[in-house]
Amino acid sequence: MTPEPGTNGSGGDPVAPAAGGDPVAPPVAPMLAKPARELPRGPGFLYEPKWDGFRCIVFRTAGGVELGSRNERPLTRYFPELVAAMGAALPPGCVIDGEIVVPGPSGLDFDALSQRIHPAQRRIDELAAATPASFVAFDLLASGGRDLRGEPLAERRRQLVTLLAGVGPPIHLTPATEDLEVAAGWFARFEGAGLDGVVAKDQALTYQPGKRVMVKVKHERTADCVVGGFRTHKDGRGVGSLLLGLHDAAGVLHHVGVASGFSVARRLELVGEVEPYRTGTEAHPWLLRFASTPGGAGPAGGPGGGDPAGGGGPAARVPGGQSRWTGGKDLSWTPLRPELVCEVAYDHLQGDRFRHATSFRRWRPDRDAPSCTYAQLEAPVPLELAEVFAAGD
């Protein structure tokens, strides 16, 4: 999982409080959503697509524009094109909650968005031109110098629509509907543009920073994956995560993500369940690829090369690669003979890997490891992102 921007040294100090009499000064923790399996029914709900990007609160003051992340860290320097657009289009005295996304040829491109958090100003400027970002607005915390957090969502949405009337790209208003059937249609169709679910909001809600008072329903599917290794939990007690693999059409085993979130008792049980597969790993495909990577080290030697995103090359995606997101975290892992198969639940596929950590469902002793391929994964029907934007603009 990609860490939030602003962590691991990427974002510097917390957003500094604004000077002057601005009604809502940074930093502000955004209002959050709790997961659910089904969209809530009944009058009073507003449904919106769930965007897959960087949560961001925009502070437009008389002095300029500040962008604050979900972790209340500054994003301002990383998106100069958005700062310029917002400074030109938004009036002073407004504070808007939304999501920064990068549109790509196949929908939202989270990998390209992640690359935008870079320490070098020259590279920031290059990426702003090569992969420009957009901002999708979905809530209004202040307008005209007035704090709106105590107003119900219905009123905040009304004022947000008025505020953004006539404002064009790269600033967009998220689509919203009170019709459950329309929202269900979005849930099915918009995934093809890279969105990952639907959020339901009670229109009577005041804005409650940091609290999970909204509801989110995300896509969930299952896949049978090869277990190629594991990482010990950070407290040293049992298995913290299982390293998952899938074969491509050529039979190459790629590291596609992890299964994690086990209870203490389950972590300890897993130690015994994977133990028989710890022997005979000398020809493990990930170890061979890892060792062939310049600067790579064996699993006991700590992290090093291997993952294409970290410079390991395109032949196979393997675990252990360092990047600016990992912040020096110990990524060492213990190999297992790639014969054990488990079923996991996942919500979103980003390229050739799972976008988030998966949930372990069960062992699959009836499946052969070579049969665990990318072909089993359900691919959403592609949808033009312009259609999604047009639904709200």
Give the Cα separation of 100 and 57 in Å (integer): 10
With CA atoms as reference, report the closest residue to 76 among 20, 21, 137, 5. Answer: 5
Query: In whole angstroms, how far apart are CA 193 and each of 53, 113, 261, 350?
Result: 13, 15, 28, 12
Rg (CA), the chain: 22
Query: In whole angstroms, how far apart are CA 4 and each of 9, 70, 181, 237, 346?
Result: 11, 7, 33, 26, 20
Give the Cα separation of 55 and 341 in Å (integer): 35
Residue length of the chain: 393
Report the 10 Å Cβ neighbour count for 380. 17
Is residue 297 within 8 A of residue 268, CB to CB? The reply is no
Structure tokens of 312?
Answer: 């390991």
- Phi, psi at residue 81, to the nearest 5°? -70, -35
Give the Cα separation of 257 and 356 in Å (integer): 8
Alpha helices in the chain (DSSP H): 80-89, 110-115, 121-130, 153-163, 180-189, 264-274, 285-291, 385-392
Q: Is 50 a catalytic residue?
A: yes
Is residue 82 within 8 A of residue 116, CB to CB? The reply is no
Give the Cα separation of 163 and 167 in Å (integer): 8
User: Which residue among 50, 201, 216, 218 is the active-site one?
Assistant: 50
Is residue 239 within 8 A of residue 230, CB to CB? The reply is yes
Q: Which residues are catalytic?
A: 50
